[in-house]
Chain A
Amino acid sequence: MMKLLARNRHAVQRIGYSFITLMAVVTVLPIVGTVLFILFKGGSAISWEFLTSFPHDGMRAGGILPAIIGTLYLTIGTAIFSVPLGIAAAIYLSEYAKDTPLTRTIRLAIINLAGIPSVVYGLFGLGLFVLFLQFGTSILAASLTLSIMTLPVIISTAEEALRSVPQQFRTVSISLGATRWQTIQRIVLKEALPGILTGVILGLERAAGETAPILFTGAAFFLPRLPQSPFDATMALPYHLFVISTQVPEMPIQIQYGTALVLLVFVLTMNIIATVIRSRARAKRQW
């Protein structure tokens, strides 16, 4: 009887493990599949001309240059606002804040910012930046909207990176006559840099791929020329993909897959850079 039970237990063990493994496979395979599928389908659309020329014939021909440049602008614009603010906020939480009700409120606010739907950010950007501050539908308004959306990602990853720097480094530095800021600047930030960088890139990656927050704050359906100032609207890769796959009838499928591919490569490159920075920093770490 005991023997049977024991055998049974091990059968359950084997079946259970296989089942869980299968679930993981089913979850992960489509990710790989999606990426490979788009690489495969879109690859033939990619040409120098596709990457460097304007769309024409109602976007059914030509390239996607303004969308690529636009996404670059938006990503840079987002970085300008969210990176300094996010890192500073992370420094505050990790190095200065004590466990007070105020600090807990800040943390709650960050969690909430992370959870707010992207389209609600779009509404907010429309209400505050486009209309109230009269920036218009512009790169500036869209970048600011994306910045606030990206902020929680940057803050929480940067804080984690800062906290992982051993406490003794701070004590020793202070005991050698450093001020708190000198300690942060010379020791803590330097050691946490790879982790912070990883968080920043992952945050910007999300911003670069977002459509909903820029729909009413800065995205343009079609522009015959590149934006000239931060107050101009811009085309952007994700919005362009949305437009050509839903709003333009008889759109050549090649161009659609090609655009999806460029967007995917843009995002994937950032993702891979972040992953590489993180794993290299882990290997090199002295503590």
Chain B
Amino acid sequence: MTDKIIIDNLSLQYADGAESLRGISMGIRQNAVTVLFGPAGGGKSTLLRCLNRLNDLTDIKTSSGRILIDGKNILDPKTDVIALRRKVGMVFARPVPLPMSIRENITYGMELAGEKRRSKLDEAVERSLKLAAIWDEVKDRLNDPAIALSGGQQQRVCLARVLALQPEIILLDEPTSGLDPISTGKVEFALLELKKLYTIILVPHSVQQAARTADHAAFFLQGELIEYDEGKKMFTTPKEKKTEDYIMGRFG
């Protein structure tokens, strides 16, 4: 397998002095679930938001290093960020359905990209909702407001909304943090299917979820990458003392 993404000596500091990244270097495999875990404030979300340049919306004091996706440095100022964000989709911690119908939520991104053909849009709605394992639950009420769904359903619609754009990489920032165990199970199940098609980077909401889902796992502590290994090894025989302490629940 090849590295879809190569992060090369990435450092970043926010203007307000909050969470930052220090000299991160790692490669992220294609068609696998890479888990970024560690205590709050470690830089996981910041790293995710670098990968689709969502950090552009935030005040950044300094940043250096490179992120190569398919060999191209996306931190280059000349990067087409709109195209990048279509290629690198993101699901947020709390489900945020846009204030419109389920269907419109799914087609929103495609319509922005200029897709007007009804048939294409309908096809995408069905395909992405099926991939997100929510089609059967919503297929009869696609025109209802998305807000009317339960939290777990909303989150899968948000996932489908990203899938509709046919991205190559999906970023998930604690996507199950507000959900009950059954809904969490459904989202995790969807991920297992999805990794056959996409490169997935997940910030889990617990160590247990990290252990359940990780093909590869990276442990972040205070802006630094402490350990990066295959998930199975990391959660059975961590090399670093800090990683072990965290996994064992001695801090965090």
Contacts and interface: CB of A to CB of B under 8 A. Distances in A.
B162 interface: yes
B190 to A, nearest CB: 19
A249 interface: no
Secondary structure type dominating chain A contacts = helix
Interface string B93-128: 010101100000000110011000000000000000
Interface stretch (B21-29, B37-45, B84-92, B213-221): B84-92
Contact of B85 (A168, A170, A175): A175
Contacts of A190: 99
Contact of A177 (B92, B94, B113): B113
A174 B147 contact: no
Contacts of B147: 286-287
Contact of A169 (B98, B112, B161): B98
A190 B161 CA distance: 20
The residue in A172, A173, A179 that gathers the most chain B C-beta atoms within 10 A of its C-beta is: A172
Interface string A120-138: 0000000000000000000
A171 B165 contact: no
A182 B111 CA distance: 11
B125 to A, nearest CB: 15
Contacts of B112: 176-178, 182, 186
B145 interface: yes
Nearest to A179: B82
Contacts of A15: none
Interface residues of A, number: 21
A287 B109 contact: no
A97 interface: no
A166 B90 CA distance: 18
B98 A172 contact: yes
Contacts of A169: 96, 98-99
A191 interface: yes
- Which bracket fits the contact residues of B? 20 to 34
A187 interface: yes
The residue in A166, A174, A175 that gathers the most chain B C-beta atoms within 10 A of its C-beta is: A175
Interface in A133-173: 166, 168-173
A122 B112 CA distance: 46
Nearest to A165: B99
B54 interface: yes
B176 interface: no
Contact of A176 (B57, B85, B94): B85
Nearest to A168: B96
A176 B92 contact: no
B54 A176 contact: no
B155 interface: no
B52 interface: yes
A186 B110 CA distance: 13
A168 B94 contact: yes
A182 B165 CA distance: 17
B109 A174 contact: no
A171 B147 CA distance: 17
A164 to B, nearest CB: 12
A82 to B, nearest CB: 28
Nearest to B109: A176
A287 B100 CA distance: 11
Contacts of A287: 99, 147
A261 B153 CA distance: 55
Contacts of A168: 92, 94, 96
B109 A177 contact: yes
B195 to A, nearest CB: 20
A98 B161 CA distance: 30
Contacts of B99: 169, 187, 190-191, 286-287
Nearest to A166: B96
Given A168-B96, A171-B57, A172-B98, A177 B145 contact: no
A176 B161 contact: yes
Interface string A98-118: 100000000000000000000
Contacts of A175: 52, 54, 85, 89-90, 92
The residue in B89, B98, B109, B161 that gathers the most chain A C-beta atoms within 10 A of its C-beta is: B98
A95 to B, nearest CB: 11
A286 B147 CA distance: 7
Interface of B: 52, 54, 57, 59, 82-83, 85-86, 89-90, 92, 94, 96, 98-99, 108-109, 112-113, 145, 147, 158, 161-162, 165
Given A177-B86, A182-B112, A286-B147, 12 more contacts: A169-B98, A169-B99, A172-B96, A172-B98, A174-B85, A175-B52, A175-B92, A177-B113, A178-B82, A178-B109, A186-B112, A190-B99
28 contacts: A168-B92, A169-B96, A169-B99, A170-B57, A171-B92, A172-B98, A173-B98, A174-B54, A174-B85, A176-B86, A176-B89, A176-B162, A176-B165, A177-B83, A177-B85, A177-B86, A177-B109, A177-B112, A177-B113, A177-B165, A178-B82, A178-B108, A178-B109, A182-B112, A187-B99, A286-B99, A286-B147, A287-B147
